[in-house]
Chains A and B, each alone.
Chain A
Amino acid sequence: MSFSWAKHYEPKSDLTKWLDERLPLPRLVYGAIGGGYPVPRNLNYFWNFGVLAGIALVIQIVTGIIMAMHYAPNALVAFDSTEHIMRDVNWGWMLRYAHANGASFFFIVVYIHIFRGLYFSSYKAPREMIWLLGLVIFLLMMATAFMGYVLPWGQMSFWGAKVITGLFGAIPLVGEPIQQWLLGGYAPDNAALNRFFSLHYLLPFVIAGVVILHIWALHIPGSSNPTGVEVKSESDTVPFHPYYTAKDGFGLGVFLILFCAMLFFAPNALGHPDNYIPANPLSTPAHIVPEWYFWPFYAILRAFTFDFFIVPAKLLGVLAMFASILLLFFLPWLDRSPVRSGNYRPLFRTFFIILVIDVLILGYLGGAPAEEPYVMLSQLASAYYFAHFLIILPIISKIEKPKPLPFSITEAVLGKDSHGTAGGPALQPAE
Chain B
Amino acid sequence: MIRIGAFLVGLFFSGWLLVSFGVGAAAYISEPPQPTAEHEFHLHPKKLALSSDGPMGKFDRQQLQRGFQVYKEVCSACHSMRLVAFRNLSELGYTEDEVKAIAANWPAQTPSIDPATGEATTRPSIPSDYIPSPHANETAARAANNNALPPDLSLITKARHGGAAYVYSLLTGYQEPPAELAKKFPDSMPGPGLNYNPYFANLNIAMANPLGSDGIVTYSDGTNATREQMAKDVAAFLVWTAEPTLEKRHQTGWAVLIFLIIATGLGYMAYRNVWAGVKH
Contact = CB atoms under 8 A, between A and B. Distances in A.
Interface of A: 41-43, 80, 83, 86-87, 93-94, 97, 238, 242-243, 246-247, 249-250, 252-254, 256-257, 260-261, 263-265, 267-268, 273-274, 276-277, 286, 303-306, 308, 316, 320, 323, 327, 330, 333-334, 336, 371-373, 375-376, 379-380, 382-384, 386-387, 389-391, 394, 413-414
B186 interface: no
B55 interface: yes
A316 B245 CA distance: 46
A249 B267 contact: yes
B136 interface: no
Contact of B264 (A247, A253, A306): A253
A242 B158 CA distance: 46
B159 A86 contact: no
Given A308-B16, A391-B10, A264 B256 contact: yes
A276 B260 contact: no
B116 interface: no
17 contacts: A87-B245, A94-B252, A238-B280, A246-B274, A250-B270, A264-B254, A264-B256, A276-B155, A276-B242, A316-B16, A330-B6, A376-B25, A383-B21, A386-B17, A390-B7, A391-B10, A394-B7
Interface string B141-171: 0000000000100110011110100000000
A334 B2 contact: yes
A276 B18 contact: no
A281 B88 CA distance: 31
Given A305-B24, A330-B2, A42 B245 contact: no
B26 to A, nearest CB: 10
Q: Could you say which of A80, A249, A384 has the most chain B C-beta atoms within 10 Å of its C-beta?
A: A249
A247 B158 CA distance: 39
A256 B260 contact: yes
A382 B25 CA distance: 15
Interface of B: 2-3, 6-7, 9-11, 13-21, 23-25, 28, 33, 55, 83, 151, 154-155, 158-161, 163, 201, 242-245, 248-250, 252-254, 256-257, 260-261, 263-264, 267-268, 270-271, 273-275, 278-280
A261 B253 CA distance: 7
A376 B21 contact: yes
Contacts of A277: 151, 155, 159
A273 B201 CA distance: 14
Contact of A306 (B19, B267, B279): B19
B256 A320 contact: no
B245 A86 contact: yes
A252 B268 CA distance: 11
Contacts of B155: 83, 276-277
A43 B278 CA distance: 13
B3 A305 contact: no
Contact of B10 (A246, A253, A389): A389
Given A250-B271, A256-B264, A391-B6, 11 more contacts: A41-B278, A41-B280, A243-B278, A260-B260, A264-B253, A273-B158, A333-B3, A334-B2, A375-B24, A380-B21, A386-B13
A289 to B, nearest CB: 12
Q: Is the interface of A mostly helix, strand, loop or mixed?
A: helix
B17 A260 contact: no
A260 B253 contact: yes
B159 A274 contact: yes
A304 B17 contact: yes
Q: Could you say which of B13, B249, B270 has the most chain A C-beta atoms within 10 Å of its C-beta?
A: B13
Nearest to A386: B13
Nearest to B155: A276
Given A87-B244, A250-B268, A390-B10, A265 B55 contact: yes
A250 B267 contact: yes
Contacts of A86: 243, 245
B275 A372 contact: no
A257 B33 contact: no
B3 A383 contact: no
A391 B14 contact: yes
A263 B253 contact: yes
Contact of B257 (A260, A383, A387): A260
Nearest to A384: B14
Nearest to B166: A273
Contact of B279 (A97, A383, A414): A414
Contact of B6 (A243, A382, A394): A394
Given A379-B17, A390-B10, A265 B250 contact: yes
Contacts of B2: 330, 333-334
A113 to B, nearest CB: 20
A379 B20 contact: yes
B258 to A, nearest CB: 10
B257 A257 contact: yes
B149 to A, nearest CB: 9
B239 to A, nearest CB: 12
B252 A264 contact: yes
Nearest to B32: A372
B69 to A, nearest CB: 22
A190 B231 CA distance: 39
